[in-house]
């Protein structure tokens, strides 16, 4: 479980850097002109261009400069990204206190990724007192907006009883919400719930379905799926594989509709 928590942290930080406005196919001169004129959206795009080396040499220091300009205007996306830059030490010295400060500014405006990131800072006690209750508070805010990583985090906290009373049914609910968005870790965790009968009646076929969906990304899911396969009849296995394929298509269709 600790490995999962570390993976969650890494995913949140990467997402914080990679889900801002697209830096693809923008004319550098035009964007820079707008950024210099004070347009926050252009400042974020310019920051992205420097952060990712798109159309300009990669330069995290220059990226931070433009993210900061937009963040200081109150742009929640820029505030979240600036927090992540401090979190990772990209373009600035690594500074957890500054990361928390900027995450909080964005989170208080309702920015879901920042809310999850702030929750993780409380979960690990990074520049704030370790506080699982406060972590859950921020996870929930983002989870209720549909952010899959927070849904997964909230599920883990319910399963472990961290910051909330232990509740396998609630854990199952939040794992499912994230799993249905294609989150492989949540798919694995949902498979476990069915495998062990936690918060739901034990169901090997349903466990196989979710392990199979997670198997392309998670070695333990492949192992669990292959173990379960021995207990299924050929008919059960065929139905499970068919349902897994259908779910995969549904998930990909939702992602496409959402522009992911």
**198-222, pLDDT tens digit by residue?**
999 999 999 999 999 999 999 999 9
Residue 167 has pLDDT above 80, yes or no: yes
Residue 89 has pLDDT above 70, yes or no: yes
pLDDT number for residue 259: 85
Q: How many whole angstroms separate alpha carbon 56 and alpha carbon 129?
A: 40
Residue 175 has pLDDT above 80, yes or no: yes
C-alpha distances (whole Å) from 69 to each of 39, 48, 100, 235 are 9, 13, 18, 60
Q: What crossing angle do the helices spanning 184-196 and 204-214 adopt, rounded to 10°? A: 160
Question: What is the per-residue DSSP string for 14-74?
Answer: HHHHHSSS--TT--HHHHHHHHHTT-HHHHHHHHHHHHHTSSS---HHHHHHHHHHHHHTT
Question: What is the per-residue DSSP string for 206-256?
Answer: HHHHHHHHHTTT-HHHHHHHHHHHTTS-HHHHHHHHHHHHHHHHHHHHHHH
Q: How many whole angstroms separate alpha carbon 208 and alpha carbon 201?
A: 14
Q: How many whole angstroms separate alpha carbon 220 and alpha carbon 16?
A: 27
Radius of gyration of the chain (CA): 20
Residue 16 has pLDDT above 70, yes or no: no
Q: Which tokens go with 105?
A: 């500014």
Overall average pLDDT of the 120-139 stretch: 98
Q: How many whole angstroms separate alpha carbon 136 and alpha carbon 118?
A: 10
C-alpha distances (whole Å) from 139 to each of 11, 111, 133, 144, 149 are 14, 12, 10, 9, 9
Q: Are 6 and 120 in contact (CB under 8 A)?
A: no
5 or 107: which leads in pLDDT: 107
Q: Which tokens go with 78?
A: 């820029």
- Cβ–Cβ contacts within 10 Å for residue 30, how many? 10
Q: Which helix (H) or strand (E) covers residue 179, if one does?
A: helix 168-179
Mean pLDDT of the chain: 92
pLDDT number for residue 260: 77
Question: What is the three-class DSSP state of 132?
Answer: helix
Domains of the chain, earliest start first: 2-166 (1.25.40.10), 184-260 (no CATH)
pLDDT number for residue 4: 54
pLDDT number for residue 19: 45
Global pTM value? 0.88
pLDDT number for residue 21: 43
100 or 8: which leads in pLDDT: 100
Overall average pLDDT of the 8-14 stretch: 51
Owner of token pair 């995913």? 11
Q: How many whole angstroms separate alpha carbon 83 and alpha carbon 212?
A: 36
Residue 15 has pLDDT above 90, yes or no: no
Q: How many whole angstroms separate alpha carbon 120 and alpha carbon 134?
A: 10
Q: Are 116 and 148 in contact (CB under 8 A)?
A: no
């Amino acid at each position: 479980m600790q490995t999962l928590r570390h993976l969650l942290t890494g995913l949140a930080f990467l997402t914080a850097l990679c889900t801002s406005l697209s830096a693809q196919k923008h004319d550098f001169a035009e964007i820079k002109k707008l950024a210099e004129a004070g347009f926050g959206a252009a400042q974020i795009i310019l920051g992205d261009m420097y952060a990712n080396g798109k159309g300009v040499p990669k330069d995290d220091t220059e990226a931070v400069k433009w993210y900061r300009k937009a963040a200081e205007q109150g742009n929640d996306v820029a505030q979240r990204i600036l927090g992540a830059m401090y979190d990772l030490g990209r373009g600035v010295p690594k500074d957890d206190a500054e990361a928390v400060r900027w995450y909080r500014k964005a989170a208080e405006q309702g920015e879901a990724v920042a809310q999850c990131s702030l929750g993780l800072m409380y979960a690990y006690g990074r520049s704030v007192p370790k506080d699982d209750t406060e972590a859950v508070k921020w996870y929930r805010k983002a989870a209720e907006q549909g952010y899959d990583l927070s849904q997964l985090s909230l599920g883990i906290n319910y399963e472990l009883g961290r910051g909330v009373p232990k509740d396998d049914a609630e854990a199952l609910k939040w794992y499912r919400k994230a799993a249905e968005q294609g989150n492989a870790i949540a798919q694995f965790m949902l498979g476990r719930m069915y495998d062990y009968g936690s918060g739901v009646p034990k169901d090997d076929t349903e466990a196989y379905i979710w392990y199979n969906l997670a198997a392309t990304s998670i070695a333990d899911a492949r192992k669990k799926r292959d173990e379960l396969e021995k207990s299924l009849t050929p008919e059960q296995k065929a139905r499970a594989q068919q349902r897994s394929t259908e779910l995969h298509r549904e998930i990909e269709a939702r992602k496409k509709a959402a522009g992911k």
